Amino acid sequence: MRLGVLDVGSNTVHLLVVDAHPGARPLPAHSHKADLRLAELLEKDDGGDGAISETGIDRLVDVIREALQAAEDKGCEDVLAFATSAVRGAANADAVLARVHQATGVALSVLTGPEEARLTFLAARRWFGWSAGKLLVLDIGGGSLETAYGMDETPDVTASLPLGAGRLTAGRLPGDPPDPADVRALRRHVRAEIARIVGDFARHSAPDHVVGTSKTFKQLARIAGSARSAEGVYAQRSLSRAALEEWVPRLAAMTCAERAELPGVSANRAPQLLAGALVAEGAMDLFGVAELEICPWALREGVILRRLDRLPAG
């Protein structure tokens, strides 16, 4: 069967079309992506809560319509639509969901942070298999950081923190290049937030394998020397903490235009690469991770796999 997964994330709205059936690896057939940056379209009201602006909602509706047309053109039998941190944390989330449903017919399912972590963990477990042993999975999105640990397909412990690269860039790194004082303040903030959850994971035995998912980790691994995307999904890619510690001050000194010249870094992702690197460095340091492996599967694949698991046998 051909499925579409519509991911309304903090950075992009991404439709992934796959050919899949139970027991088989989902095969990508088409990808349709639009940069929306919802995490940067949150307006502060008098109470301090973030609301998605009317302009942001209009853009979201238009992008979802385009994605639905692409799904129809590619022959999708069904589209699994979900939203993550930016919609979840918006003060006007209910109004946004109602507007999207009225305008497009799509009932967006808003995933909680722990649900994101569990589904991403499932994707990593299926990719690396049982031989990977106890997994620790780190995922840096545009709006949040998800972590999960466990031996089985369902993690034993999960956590979600508002440490997404887009959210932190918009809220805490206004300069280009950023003010060194802002970088130091963000570093302190990131590490203080991560330190709050480390104890929950430390109660368990050390992981056998540490995995990083998301575009941020992929880009950091690429600038640190890992294989290019052209070498395919099966090329092993890793990121060491030592390499990351060398790159963070270099990224902090660069303008967005200079970061966009780095291998594997797109112009639209360049502004938030420093914030993502600070989160990655902090997580690897506080969790005691010397090196992690990049997983090509993440949340979207987890959503597909869970859907396939629930189909009747035969």
Taking only the tens place, the pLDDT of each residue in 143-159 is 999 999 999 999 999 99
23-27, 48-52, 173-177, 235-239: range with lowest mean pLDDT: 48-52
- CATH 3.30.420.40 domain locations along the chain: 2-110
How far, in Å, CA of 1 to CA of 21, rounded?
A: 6
Residue 240, H or E segment = strand 238-240
Asked if residue 79 lies in contact with residue 32, where contact means CB atoms within 8 angstroms, the answer is no
Q: pLDDT-derived band of residue 313, with 50, 70 and 90 as boundaries? A: low
Give the pLDDT confidence score for residue 40 in this predicted structure.
67
Q: 118: Cβ–Cβ under 8 A, 6 or more apart, which residues?
A: 148, 154, 155, 158, 302
Domain spanning 2-110, CATH architecture = 2-Layer Sandwich (3.30)
Q: pLDDT-derived band of residue 258, with 50, 70 and 90 as boundaries? A: very high
pLDDT 10s digits, 148-201: 999 999 999 999 999 999 999 989 999 999 999 999 999 999 999 999 999 999
Assess whether pLDDT exceeds 60 at residue 307: yes
Q: Which CA distances in Å does 147 have to 23, 105, 151, 211, 231?
A: 26, 33, 14, 10, 28
Q: pLDDT-derived band of residue 64, with 50, 70 and 90 as boundaries? A: very high
Q: What percent of the chain has pLDDT over 90?
A: 84
Looking at the DSSP bridge assignments, the partners of residue 67 are none
Q: Which pTM was predicted?
A: 0.94
DSSP 142-161: SS-EEEEEESSSS-SEEEEE
Coil/strand/helix, residue 176:
coil
Asked if residue 119 lies in contact with residue 111, where contact means CB atoms within 8 angstroms, the answer is yes
Domain spanning 129-300, CATH architecture = 2-Layer Sandwich (3.30)
Give the pLDDT confidence score for residue 159 in this predicted structure.
98
- CATH 3.30.420.150 domain locations along the chain: 129-300
